[in-house]
Structure 1
Amino acid sequence: MSDLLEHAQDQQRQAVREAAARLLEARSPGYTLPQPFYNDQRLFDLDMKEIFEREWLFAGLSSEIPLKGNFMTMDVGNSPIIIVRGDNGAIHAFHNVCRHRGSRLCSTERGKVAKLVCGYHKWTYELDGRLLFAGSDMGTTFDTSEYGLHPVHVRSAGGMLFINLAEQPENCEPFFKTLEFYLKPYDMENVKVAASSSIIEEGNWKLVIENNRECYHCDGSHPELLNTLQEFDDTDDPRATEAYKALVAKKQADWDAEKVPYQLVRFGRRNRMTRTPLLEGTVSMTTDGTPACKKLLGRLQSPDMGSLRILNLPNSWNHFMGDHAVVFQVDPIGPLKTRVTTKWLVHKDAVEGVDYDLAKLRKVWDATNDQDRQLVEENQRGVNSSAYQPGPYSATFEFGVVDFVDWYAERMQEALKGQQEPHLQLA
């Protein structure tokens, strides 16, 4: 009976893969995706398997686990993960699953432990994942060396932590090395999280990313953000004005003097980083454009660093300024639900109420996040309609969205290569 059930499940999964491959093959480039990619549970499960369990994901900051035994947890779909600091500063990541009966080891978002101990039956693991104790009841032939925690690939790059659940992850060393170079002036080991928020957006994760990858909507939706934000990422933007290009040249001369990198660097469609000025006369993403924190990050001597923008698909975008940074993490929960976590970073020695005011630090992005939540949720409600059809993107205003959707489609098609003609309809 179990073999028959497993065979039926395999057939169903294969049918979904075949149907997804057909939909991607038939899609119109430069248009939004077919409806099932935004609201179908089966395609959400496929996203988690072929995107989130294969790609390098932003997971947090090394400064959040500064000491031996400090840990943080996260979920990648149904897979709970733990990241922990071990001996000699080493950072390890594991599936947060006891090798005994599968219970989660750590149930809190963060904490500090001497050993990793399962609360169910007290199986005890070293911080490097080795099983140390399973109790005498397991018998004399039980070999603890065969029951260490299942490891997860983890990489610290410039103080940002990335994990990958694949057995053999894609080599992203050029991106990681460049990220280390761009973040070196910020001395990320010596920052702290001044504030953190997690909001639930009732929308598909791809709609969350699409919304982030364009500022077509900014003028009518983000008054607080546009007090300081340039709509252009760089001078390659087809809408970039001559005034903006002149400001970029002026600021790049200042940044050369500070010896901080600013050039636009792309790694395919997946990763990019660039430093771009804020509006002239402003230096920080605050409502009045003045610094949110008196104590600057790292070795920086001026707050006027513009915004170092870092994109890591599929789950993160970031803004690094002279006085503080704002980092974002996207975690899909279901086909119609996504968690967006925002962290505001300041120098670790900055004192709240002395060096920074928390309300001022948070105001712009708290407002912007809520505005984006409403936009994504309204987008999702419309996409769910029987009247929805893929619509055209603007090549001028939405080229970043086109890049994301093309990247997503290419990665999925690569994963689905060799599939047969579909025998299941998803749309």
Structure 2
Amino acid sequence: MLASDLKNDPVLVDPIDRLVSAYRPGYALERPFYFDPAIFERDMERVFFRHWHCLAHESVIPNPGDFEVFKLASEAVILTRGADGSVHALLNLCRHRGAEVCTKEKGNAKAFVCPYHAWTYGNDGALRAARLMPKDFDRQAHGLKKVHVRVVEGLVFISFAKEPLDFSEVEALLHATCGQYGWASAKVAHRQSYTIDANWKLAVENYVECYHCGPAHPEYSETHALEQPLHMIEELNAVMEARTCALGIEIGSGNHWQSSAGGKETIHAFRYALYDGVKTGSKDGQPLSTLMGRFSDFDGGVTSIHLGGTSFLVCYADHGMIYRFIPKTVDTCEMELIWLVDGKAEAGIDYDFEKLTWLWRVTTDEDKAIIEHTARGVRSHFYEPGPIAPMEQNELRYINWYLEEISRP
């Protein structure tokens, strides 16, 4: 049953609240959470527009005037670098009639000229010219609307919220993790997007659990110990941490996975080991690129970061990964993968493109198939949520967090 079928329910006025209250603890979500347009709209309002999202690495706009347009759900954001080097995130809609002012995906421009009536905006969003408007027209009051932006360790984050969630715990933990890996001086080696025929939550739920890693990702499971239950890799993790300490590096971790009720953004950073002899996330476990940040050698470990509900980061000693989950419609979403390397590394000399990207391209191809298999199965009227397995503890945590978020006005 969909939320739209419950409009006249005498017990709860809001049909979505009724579905939330009927959730069976320890189980997967009911079918409507993945197919009901009303729930998708609430997802946008109370999750997507409330939380911070990783948009890009700032190296995609290295020079003053550089810009790129990012599309997220129904919104389009122009990420641009001003003449003074500052980063701006502008909504791509003219303040006159709402037309898109930037019609190219990326480039370099000193100004954006609306193709409709030629209103002209600086790359900081200020309205520079509005032809034939009356003398008393206030240009200062009609600049492009901005979304909140933070740049931390080279990562650009945005929030659509009128009053954004406190970002201080996130910033501190990113310094303690990505900062040790030198992400502030990294650059993008490759970006690849995957269109997924599934609700965005099915994609995120798949990402946060590794119960499926053994049967679904044989390539990943050859090198990453996370494919086993956590209690079975404690010894491997201890050896990994000893190697990290021996390199004189202290990488932070912390669990601040929390609802927005306290006004703070959510983040969880944790570490886990690669198998013995494996140095990084590659096909054969051997190095892929030059070492990054404070690393003078490989520690055989991985740092994983879950942030804000849609952004996920993976740190190796010689490269990094950004996973962005982007809702599109109630039953489609997009995953963008971004590979980072040291800013001085040169393609074809310090790293081989095919080798660098192989593991996560293979793994994501497999994930796309799995997620879409699940979406087709959940669409069945005979679908019934099953119990969450112990190895899916992060999925259960995510489900509980999500339900709390959409229950908050």
Q: TM-score, normalised by structure 2?
A: 0.91
Aligned residue type for 2:183 = M
Query: What percent identity do the matched residue pairs reach?
Result: 33
Counterpart in the other structure of 2:120: 124
Aligned to 1:390: 385
8 A contact 2:249–2:294 mirrored in 1: no
Q: Give the match for residue 287 of structure 1.
A: 283
Residues 67-106 of structure 1 mapped to structure 2, 5 A cutoff = 67-106=63-102
Counterpart position of 1:256:
245
Matched, 1:240 2:235: no
Contact 1:252 1:262 in 2 (8 A): no
- Is 1:400 matched with 2:394? yes
Q: Aligned residue for 2:3?
A: none
| CA shift in 2, pair 1:79/1:149, >3 Å | same
Residue 17 of structure 1 and its aligned partner are, at CA, apart by 8.3
Query: Is structure 2 residue 370 aligned with structure 1 residue 379?
Result: no
Question: What does 1:248-397 correspond to in 2, within 5 Å?
Answer: 248-269=237-258, 270-293=266-289, 295-304=290-299, 306-394=301-389, 396-397=390-391
Stretch of structure 1 that moved more, 181-190 or 343-352:
181-190
TM-score for both structures, normalised by structure 1: 0.88
- The alignment status of 1:138 with 2:136, answered yes or no, reads no
Structure 1 position 59, deviation (Å):
0.8
How far residue 305 of structure 1 moved from its aligned partner, in angstroms, is 5.1
Aligned to 1:19: 15
- The one-letter amino acid paired with 1:335 is V
Please give the secondary structure, in 2, of the residue aligned with 1:272. strand
Higher relative contact order (CA 8 A, sep 6+): 1
Instruction: Determine if the alignment matches structure 1 residue 54 to structure 2 residue 73.
Output: no
CA–CA distance in structure 1, aligned partners of residues 308 and 361 of structure 2: 22
Structure 1 equivalent of residue 205 of structure 2: 210
Q: Which whole-Å CA distance do the structure 1 matches of 2:105 and 2:249 have between them?
A: 34
Separation in 2, partners of 1:356, 1:387 = 49
Identify the residue that residue 42 of structure 1 maps to in structure 2.
Answer: 38
Instruction: Check conservation: 1:63, 1:189, Cα contact below 8 A.
Output: no
One-letter code aligned to 1:68: P
- Given that 2:269 and 2:306 are in contact with CA atoms closer than 8 Å, whether structure 1 keeps it comes out as yes
Q: 1:110 to 1:188 in 2, by over 3 A?
A: farther
Residue deviations 1:14-65 (CA, integer Å, cap 9, x gap): xx98111111011111111121111112211221111111111111112222
Note if contact 2:155-2:184 (Cα within 8 Å) is conserved in structure 1: no
- Equivalent residue of 1:71, what SS? strand
Mapped to 2, the partners of 1:248 and 1:352 lie a distance apart of: 32
Residues 404/31 of structure 1: CA separation in 2 closer, same or farther (3 Å cut): same
Displacement after TM superposition at 1:411 (Å): 0.7
Give the Å deviation of 1:335: 1.3
Q: Which runs of 5+ in 1 are unaligned?
A: 1-10, 416-427
Instruction: Measure, in 2, the Cα distance between the counterparts of 1:185 and 1:86.
Output: 28
Tell me the distance in 2 between the aligned counterparts of 1:265 and 1:249: 17
Which digits, 9 at most, give the CA deviation of each residue in 1:75-125, with x for residues without a partner? 232111112112432211121111122111223333221123323332211
Whole-Å Cα distance in 1 between the matches of residues 382 and 22 of structure 2?
Answer: 19
**Mapped contact 2:46–2:408 kept (Cα < 8 A):** no
Flag structure 2 segments of 5+ consecutive residues without an equivalent: 1-6, 259-265
Give distance in 2, aligned partners of 1:175 and 1:209.
Answer: 19
Q: Residue 421 of structure 1 aligns with which residue? A: none
8 Å CA contact 1:53–1:76 kept in 2: the answer is: no
1:409 deviation in Å?
A: 0.3
Instruction: List per-residue Cα deviations over 1:118-157 (Å, max 9, x = no partner).
Output: 233322112222111111x112222211111111011112
Name the SS of the counterpart of 1:261 in structure 2.
coil
User: Residue 147 in 1 paired to residue 138 in 2?
Assistant: no
* Cα deviation 1:239-289 (Å, max 9, x = unaligned): 422xx3222222212212334333430112441112322111011111100
C-alpha spacing 1:260/1:118, structure 2 compared with 1 (3 Å):
farther
Kindly indicate whether the alpha-carbon contact (under 8 Å) linking 2:278 and 2:300 is maintained by their aligned counterparts in 1: no
| Shift in alpha-carbon separation, 1:87–1:219, aligned structure 2, 3 A | same
Q: State how far apart, in whole Å, the 1-side matches of 2:321 and 2:286 are.
A: 16
Counterpart Cα distance in 1 of 2:250 and 2:37: 42
How many residues are aligned here?
Answer: 394
Three-state SS of the structure 2 residue aligned to 1:198 is strand
| CA distance in 2 between partners of 1:275 and 1:262 (Å) | 9
SS of the aligned residue for 1:162 comes to strand
Query: Per-residue deviation at 1:407?
Result: 0.4
Q: Please give the alpha-carbon distance, in whole angstroms, between the structure 2 residues aligned to 1:280 and 1:238.
A: 17
SS at match of 1:275: strand
Matched-pair contact (CA < 8 Å) for 2:177–2:252: no
Return the alpha-carbon distance in structure 1 between the equivalents of residues 300 and 151 of structure 2. 24
Q: Which secondary structure state, in structure 2, belongs to the residue aligned with residue 89 of structure 1?
A: coil
